[in-house]
Chain A
Amino acid sequence: MGGCLRFVPALSRGGDATIMLICPASLETPETMRHVLSALVQNVPGVLAHISGMLASRGYNIDSLAVGETEDPHLSRMTFVVVGDERVLEQVRKQLEKIVTVVKVDDISSKDFVERDLMLVKVKAPPGGQRTEIRELVEIFRGRIVDVGDQEVMIEISGKEGKIEAFINRMRPYGILELVRSGRIAMVRTHS
């Protein structure tokens, strides 16, 4: 695995500034685990501000946060990746549940789930050998080239975090010009 992007509060408590650090995933100890929380929230103005404000003011580490409407337009789904020990996770969950507009919170890490991250990345690809190599790599990673310029290509790729990280590492030598990720979304598998 490569590294993970992690928001670390500048101050342990009360600090509102957040800085982004890149840290090797191997630093994660069994005590501080990554958990995927899935929250169903009322689709009302301010709910995202409320939740992100609560997380920041209580000093929780959030790896990633993705939001989108669900099949019910009154409800949105938020997926959080939280870093911390069991006690931190319990508090994050309870503090989320305490927000009136939060309908339900699930820790889906303990279940069998599918996790995806969508990325768009623009990579330097002058016509010739380099571009061919990139096309091959895109194919191997089951990505797609969605835009082609004179000197660069835009690639769309989705998958689990590890795969995305690996692809980023493969692209680095060619020169990454721009990169955007959706943040992780997740869903529990159907039990048969």
Chain B
Amino acid sequence: MATSVTTDAKTLSGADILVKSLVDHGVDVIFAYPGGASMPLHQALTRFGDRLRTILPRHEQGGAFAAQGYARSTGKVGVCMATSGPGATNLVTAIADAKLDSVPLVAISGQVSTAVIGSDAFQETPIVEVCRGITKHHYLVTDVRDVPRVMREAFHVAKTGRPGPVLVDMPKDVQLAAEEVDWDAPMDLPGYHVEDRRARPEQIKQVAAAIKLAKRPVVYAGGGVIASDANESLRKFVAKTGIPVTMTAMGLGAYPGDDPLSLDMLGMHGSVYANWAVRDCDLLLAFGVRFDDRVTGMVAEFAKHAKIVHVDIDPSELNKNKPAHIPICSDVKYFLDQLNEIVSAPPQAEIKEWVKQCQQWKKEHPFKYSETFDGILQQHAIRELWKLTRDRDTYVTVGVGQHQMWTAQFYKFARPRTWLSSSGLGTMGFGLPSAMGVQAAHPNSLVVDIDGDGSFLMNIQELATCYCEELPVKVLLLNNQHLGMVVQWEDRFMQGNRAHTYLGPIRHAEASGKGSGPYAEERYPDFVTIAKGFGCGAATVSKKADLRAALEEMIAHRGPYVLDVQVPYQEHVLPMIPAGRTVHDIILE
């Protein structure tokens, strides 16, 4: 660690100190876009280039989502950097996204010099003010001597407790200042205590007792299971108790999706069997979740008859949306490991009956789509990709919308951290840049961005990064020429009135909802030409019979690749529980 440099006689600049801190914290990749107020930092990055790879995104938002991709797929802190003003504000969406999905992120922004802060200087924004509510913590560094302590605190806060984004705003004069600093300056966080977030023995006993009495228990597992690396502990728990598991969008991969006891995702677009299991359960074991409205619908009706055990490391999540009978503030892994020591299965006859019931529902109401459709359905493309990639080391990222939900439904994630989705904030444009970050962290893995045409276009400039930085990301583009999820709501709740949800020219009939046939008149833009213009491989496919070969070609391609798949726009994500409603209102057809 930093101690080795204490004797370094040479006085480093603030920029060097910051970059050296990154290296000392084990950062091996940073996504950084330079500008006037961050040039000294970039100069420093070149001096540490042998230990720290700097990847130049083509938009700061792309860089920040790439850092998220790195963080989400590794569990380590992702790092991005931007200049002051517009560079910093371009990070904002990805910072808010990291906050809602609890992703450990350190975002570094250049700032105008301290002497002109507050004078509306060129490219000045009060980025710390802007980001207060969307960061876990934030710093405006005004003294170079604070840099080692601030960086130590930033990494500590980002990754411990409930992870989250930390912003470090660094004025240019502080970057240039050269002073003797105390590399070992201790952290000064008198209000930050997360070490003691551990379930008490009597709480563990209480839960074990509740399980022993349960007849219809179900596990509701979320991102907290993955964040605390508790997937193995969860698997052991399920093996011991035989309790079925449903997962949130953030929790997919926490338990193997293709296991018979997996009930897949629950909530608005979750499985019938998961939602029915939660409806009928008498014990809901909520691990690392936050009772989000996309999961619960009308919260008073959610798991109405169940005793609720809620385990989360963030005490403010307990009793926030839904009161729990047994609220436990704890690291989920610690809790599960302790519980596994003493827990025994519920009464065998009853649990067997219950699992049989769940599996019966699963058989009767699987995720399904028309197998006879004369063309490629989104769900089919995803299932085919899963079949082709399930046995290899694969990571999947998504944008936001229908394709995201279908991927959650049809790609069965076997391992944690292999599925990356902007789940809380729901940021379109997440897929490609986050895939880039995954690829940087896992150079030898297959990384596929399953994207929609709307989401893909929001950060399509990152194809340049993929090409130039040699990040061979694959894009499976499910191109229906529409904002499919909004179209679905228009169709279901607004009599199909198209309100700016067609992505082609406005002269087309589809723009006013008067198109005929399953596809738009003519596909716009020409994604294949665009991808080739960026130097990527690209192809289009529209016949079902050609899909498999097209996917294989995509996977085999050495560089980044875009497979533009023609899909219909009338397809709806089902099942669906309308917003704010209950499981009784589930739409199946």
Contacts and interface: CB of A to CB of B under 8 A. Distances in A.
Do A and B belong to a common assembly? yes
A130 interface: no
Nearest to A75: B190
Interface in B117-143: 128-129, 132-133, 136-138, 140
Contacts of B320: 91
Contacts of A102: 191
A87 B191 CA distance: 23
A42 B191 CA distance: 8
Interface in A44-60: 45-46, 49-50, 53-54, 57
B161 to A, nearest CB: 9
B133 A57 contact: yes
B315 to A, nearest CB: 5
Interface in A88-105: 90-91, 94-95, 97-104
B319 A46 contact: no
B281 to A, nearest CB: 24
B146 to A, nearest CB: 11
Contacts of B137: 100
A153 interface: no
Contact of B315 (A94, A99, A100, A103): A94
B129 A98 contact: no
Interface string A97-130: 1111111100000000000000000000000000
A29 to B, nearest CB: 20
Interface string B285-316: 00000000000000000000000000000111
B349 interface: no
- Which of A94, A100, A103, A104 has the most C-beta atoms of chain B within 10 angstroms of its own C-beta? A100
Interface in B238-259: none
A41 interface: yes
A95 B140 contact: no
Contact of B191 (A46, A53, A91, A103): A103
A93 to B, nearest CB: 9
Nearest to A58: B133
Interface in B140-173: 140, 157
Contacts of B315: 94, 97
A49 B126 CA distance: 13
B192 interface: yes
Contacts of A95: 316
A178 B189 CA distance: 42
Contact of A100 (B140, B157, B316): B157
B132 A87 contact: no
Contacts of A91: 316, 319-320
Contacts of B129: 46, 49
Nearest to B142: A45
Interface size class of A (residues with CB under 8 A): 20 to 34
B356 to A, nearest CB: 38
Interface in B187-217: 189-192
Contacts of A103: 190-191
Interface in A134-169: none
A41 B190 CA distance: 9
Given A41-B191, A42-B191, A100-B189, A50 B132 contact: yes
Contacts of B319: 87, 90-91
B316 A45 contact: no
B316 A98 contact: yes
Interface string B223-241: 0000000000000000000
A95 B133 CA distance: 11
Nearest to A51: B132
A46 B129 CA distance: 8
A49 B191 contact: no
A80 to B, nearest CB: 16
A136 B189 CA distance: 52
Interface in A35-87: 41-42, 45-46, 49-50, 53-54, 57, 87
A101 B316 CA distance: 16
B138 to A, nearest CB: 8
A102 B191 CA distance: 5
Contacts of A97: 191, 315-316
Contact of B128 (A41, A46, A87, A101): A46
Contacts of B136: 100
A42 B192 CA distance: 11
Contact of B132 (A46, A90, A104): A46
30 contacts: A41-B191, A42-B190, A42-B191, A45-B140, A46-B128, A46-B129, A46-B132, A46-B140, A49-B129, A49-B132, A54-B132, A54-B133, A57-B133, A87-B323, A91-B316, A91-B320, A94-B315, A94-B316, A95-B316, A97-B191, A97-B316, A98-B314, A98-B316, A99-B191, A100-B136, A100-B189, A101-B191, A103-B190, A103-B191, A104-B191
Closest 10 CB pairs of A and B: A94-B316, A103-B191, A100-B137, A103-B190, A102-B191, A50-B132, A100-B192, A94-B315, A98-B316, A53-B132
Interface of A: 41-42, 45-46, 49-50, 53-54, 57, 87, 90-91, 94-95, 97-104
